Amino acid sequence: PVAIRREDYQAPAFWIDTVDLCFDLDPAKTRVLNKMVLRRNPDVPAQALRLDGEELNLARVLVNGQGASFRIEGGQLVLENLPAAEEGPFALEIFTTCAPAKNTKLMGLYVSNGSFFTQCEAEGFRRITYFLDRPDVMASYTVTLRADKTAYPVLLSNGNLVEHGPLQGEGNENRHYAKWVDPHKKPSYLFALVAGKLVAREQRIRSRLGGDHLLQVYVRPGDLDKTEHAMQSLMASVAWDEARFGLPLDLERFMIVATSDFNMGAMENKGLNIFNTKYVLANQATATDTDFANIESVVGHEYFHNWTGNRVTCRDWFQLSLKEGLTVFRDQEFSQDLCAEPSARAVKRIEDVRVLRTAQFPEDAGPMAHPVRPDSYVEINNFYTVTVYEKGAEVVRMMQTLVGRDGFAAGMKLYFERHDGQAVTCDDFAQAIADANPGSELARLLPQFKRWYSQAGTPRVHAAGQWDAGAGRYTLTLTQSCAPTPGQALKEPFVIPVALGLLGADGQELQTQQPALFVMTEAQHQIVFEGLAAEPVPSLLRGFSAPVILDIDYSDAQLLTLLAHDSDPFNRWEAGQRLALRRALKAIGDDGFADGQTVLDAAFIDAMREVLRHPRLDAAFKELVLTLPSETYLAEQLDVVDPQRIHAVREAMRAQLAEALLEDWQWAYEEHRDNGAYQPDPRSSGRRALAGLALAQLCLAARTSGDTVWPGKAYQRFKDAGNMTDRFNALSALVASAHELAAPALQRFHALFKDEALVLDKWFALQAGSPDRNGNVLPAVKQLMKHADFNLRNPNRARSVIFSYCNANPGGFHRADAAGYVFWADRVIELDAINPQVAARLARALDRWKKLAEPYRTAAREALARVAAKADLSNDVREVVTRALD
């Protein structure tokens, strides 16, 4: 497999103006008639037409109605001798068949639960018909679907339904058709069709700008009672994009369709979003608060793509962050703007940063590190990463920080004025934001700012303060650096916006002469604060104003001050995390560390109690502060990682916090457990989250003390809970503390929800992700894979067991006997034959193997080498394991 390079981009030799597709839908053999009108691109030297295709059976090719000569070369359909440019547009008709029922990759046209679905991004359209399957070729689509009426009563495609009815003639008994016209030009990756037995929740809306629209959420019959929240989220999304950015819905009809077989979260096909059921279906009996929040943000995300992605799309796949980074930023802002209280906004920000630091920072430090705008790839599906998405969103967020909220909205306006209907680059976006804000720091620093797009790796900012008591002067020295990443040995300094303030020793915010935002551009800066009465405590990178690692040598006393008083809630939380981190790292570094050893001191425990009992802090915020840094985050702070030591230390810390705060946890549980009628809003879900953490801690404490009261209460709660969040939290508390009541609770849970696929996913994931005790998780995982409800072909189910173990349970996965890695290699190979995209995600679980201590390191390398040695690997998995072994 050859690498594709960004610098090799060439405009297409042909444009496709119109596409008229006719499908005869049949699971075994679907017939696709593709009639296109093409013309030569006058800006490119005349050459053959090369159309992409994959796993297609070609029956006929006609040019202007005549049989034409063609050849198949490297999977492409090649046509020479096409009409010359002067002859204008020409017609090309291609007739192919494909086999949707055999499509286990879930790319292109496939069957799920007896219905047809498509997934075309990035390069799936070529599995439907021969095409110029690249995002800069935008065409007008007309689509006719023909199918059996009983099996496929609903026939959907992009745009507007213009005709439908029964099919006439012999062989068409009980068959019907529907014809759809998309009024907007689009790249092939946004094509979609759906056919099957589905029902819809419908909502008519009138937008602020006066348009009437029909919103629909399609699901399988029986799931309609779980569509209200998705519909509410969609209505909120439409309203938000109009209010915040002046971007209206540009379609008469906007559809969301849910399928239980889907490779990722959802897909923004024009007017016909296709979603993983996980991000559509919810009611209080089956979905947790987290599910509700995820649905809101994914529905928003896909809807916002309608402008950022669809109206303005990517020139090539290296520009993926143009739409993904920007749209993640937009969905994050949307969720924040829906929060009634500022404290809830801060909670959302902390959650987003936690994802960035536990998933993206490791990626940026590992073998798959790549710039937000990558320079090369073998398989584009491997570059739908946390770097392109989440770090990309941080880059957009920094632009907003540098030009202000209104300036950013003005930049977006200019972006659409310039580029509506075009396929463009990340440079075009940054230029528009800068040009709309000519006096801004962004405009002044644009070329340097764009290093965020070209340089991989997480920058490190070192901060050191110097106090001159005599002069009343505090000097802050900020130094930036960035470690080498694959292919990039040296890095130039980044533009780093550092939001900052100073606190007095009593915790009061100090008024200073310095602005609240300092923009780093050099390797080193000094900021001088004059006229201070006493040494201040600096609060740096407030709100996490840049995606960097901040190294700063705080004393415990300073961190305690920040935790108690910082006016910036992000840094308040961060101070608590730093206090915990410091203690964890000390214990991890202690070679004599033994289970049950004390890790936490009274000062730390008292500070945590203060937060927990605080009269004014939100429950959601308390839950975040009282949650210890994850094992993955701890591992990232170390050069050599002993996963078992990290696991033991973190477990010891959890147990100690459980026992030391016993009465406080009891108070917290009793105080927050009752919420009245269920509402998934941030305030009441925060209360449930804190009650859930308290219950988990109480069950953990009971484990050591032998107390049976709290496990009994947890079991009762599990049985009586009025919503899935409370029920699942109670179940998790029993499972995580390995109490004997866990087994009957799990059994009961399964019996209650045996017909709810998404709930069964939780049941599997909980067990595969539970804290390891003497290596008990791997055998349990192997048992789960033999369960009648397990199905490797269903991505959600495969992820719920295999990913929950390999990616989300380091203590269970990294075994001294290497059995976890052997299991991993077997599953990667097994999954690769079914679904390379899912397999390649799993393959990433060993990205950080080089950091592992022995015996893990050698065993991990052997497992990777075993996968790499397999002859017929997909490009997807081969690229990941090759880079890992490099």
Instruction: Indicate which residues carry an active-site annotation.
Output: 302
Distance between CA atoms of 436 and 428, rounded to whole angstroms? 12
Distance between CA atoms of 586 and 57, rounded to whole angstroms? 62
Residues 6+ away with beta carbon under 8 Å from 656? 598, 599, 600, 605
| CB of residue 795 to ligand B3K, shortest distance in Å | 12
| CB of residue 305 to ligand B3K, shortest distance in Å | 6
Residues 6+ away with beta carbon under 8 Å from 605? 656, 657, 660, 661
Which own/partner contact pairs does 817-826 have at CB distance under 8 Å and 24+ positions apart?
Answer: 817/775, 818/855, 818/856, 818/859, 818/862, 818/863, 819/775, 819/778, 820/778, 821/846, 821/859, 821/860, 821/862, 821/863, 822/863, 823/778, 823/781, 823/782, 824/863, 825/863, 825/864, 825/866, 825/867
| CB of residue 33 to ligand B3K, shortest distance in Å | 26
Give yes or no for residue 800 binding ligand B3K (CB under 6 A): no
User: What region, left, alpha or beta, does residue 487 occupy, with left being phi > 0 and alpha being psi -120 to 50 degrees?
Assistant: left
Of the candidates 533, 547, 545, 544, which has an alpha carbon nearest to the alpha carbon of residue 502?
A: 533
**CA torsion through residues 788, 791, 797, 803, sign:** positive
**599 touches which of ligand B3K, Zn ion, none (CB within 5 to 8 A by kind)?**
none
The stretch near ligand B3K (CB under 6 A) out of 235-243, 244-252, 298-306, 457-465 is 298-306
Give yes or no for residue 532 binding ligand B3K (CB under 6 A): no
Give yes or no for residue 308 binding ligand B3K (CB under 6 A): no
| CB of residue 885 to ligand B3K, shortest distance in Å | 24
What number of residues does the chain have? 886
Q: What is the DSSP letter of 420?
A: T
Closer to Zn ion by CB, 381 or 725: give it.
381
Phi, psi dihedrals of residue 345, rounded to the nearest 5° = -60, -45
CB 628 within 8 A of CB 580: yes
| CB of residue 790 to ligand B3K, shortest distance in Å | 24
Of the candidates 246, 250, 266, which has an alpha carbon nearest to the alpha carbon of residue 258?
A: 266
- Three-state DSSP state, 28: coil
Among 126, 301, 348, 542, binds ligand B3K (CB under 6 A): 301
Of the candidates 610, 563, 602, which has an alpha carbon nearest to the alpha carbon of residue 583?
A: 602
- Three-state DSSP state, 854: coil
Contact track, Zn ion, 320-359, x by CB under 5 A: ----x--x--------------------------------
Provide the H-helix boundaries in 473-601: 556-565, 569-588
Closer to ligand B3K by CB, 259 or 732: give it.
259
Residue closest to ligand B3K when measured from CB atoms: 121
**634 touches which of ligand B3K, Zn ion, none (CB within 5 to 8 A by kind)?**
none
Token pair in block for residue 318: 């290296």
> Segment 719-758, which members bind ligand B3K (CB under 6 A)?
none
Closer to ligand B3K by CB, 302 or 761: give it.
302
**122 touches which of Zn ion, ligand B3K, none (CB within 5 to 8 A by kind)?**
ligand B3K
Closer to ligand B3K by CB, 263 or 723: give it.
263
Phi, psi dihedrals of residue 116, rounded to the nearest 5° = -95, 140
The stretch near ligand B3K (CB under 6 A) out of 211-219, 265-273, 341-349, 819-827 is 265-273
Q: What is the identity of the amino acid at 806?
A: C
Closer to Zn ion by CB, 313 or 327: give it.
327
Among 21, 147, 249, 267, binds ligand B3K (CB under 6 A): 267
Among 381, 539, 807, 835, binds ligand B3K (CB under 6 A): 381
Closer to ligand B3K by CB, 565 or 841: give it.
841
| CB of residue 237 to Zn ion, shortest distance in Å | 13
Token pair in block for residue 411: 């930049």
The stretch near Zn ion (CB under 5 A) out of 1-9, 34-42, 317-325, 773-781 is 317-325
**384 touches which of Zn ion, ligand B3K, none (CB within 5 to 8 A by kind)?**
ligand B3K
CB 399 within 8 A of CB 411: yes
The stretch near ligand B3K (CB under 6 A) out of 5-13, 152-160, 261-269, 359-367 is 261-269
CB 445 within 8 A of CB 454: no
Give yes or no for residue 384 binding ligand B3K (CB under 6 A): yes
**364 touches which of ligand B3K, Zn ion, none (CB within 5 to 8 A by kind)?**
none
**381 touches which of ligand B3K, Zn ion, none (CB within 5 to 8 A by kind)?**
ligand B3K
Closer to ligand B3K by CB, 105 or 572: give it.
105
| CB of residue 276 to ligand B3K, shortest distance in Å | 10
Give yes or no for residue 324 binding ligand B3K (CB under 6 A): yes
Q: From start to end of 25-114, where are the E strands?
A: 30-40, 49-51, 57-63, 66-67, 71-73, 76-79, 90-98, 108-112
Helix-helix angle 643-660:602-613, to 10 degrees: 60
| CB of residue 382 to ligand B3K, shortest distance in Å | 9
Closer to ligand B3K by CB, 297 or 558: give it.
297
Contact track, ligand B3K, 96-135, x by CB under 6 A: -------------------------xx-------------
* E strand or H helix that includes residue 248: none
Parallel/antiparallel/unpaired status of strands 57-63 and 66-67: antiparallel
CB 407 within 8 A of CB 440: yes
Closer to ligand B3K by CB, 266 or 658: give it.
266
| CB of residue 384 to ligand B3K, shortest distance in Å | 5
Closer to ligand B3K by CB, 266 or 806: give it.
266
| CB of residue 241 to ligand B3K, shortest distance in Å | 15
Binding site for Zn ion (CB under 5 A): 324, 327
Binding site for ligand B3K (CB under 6 A): 121-122, 264, 266-268, 301-302, 305, 324, 381, 384
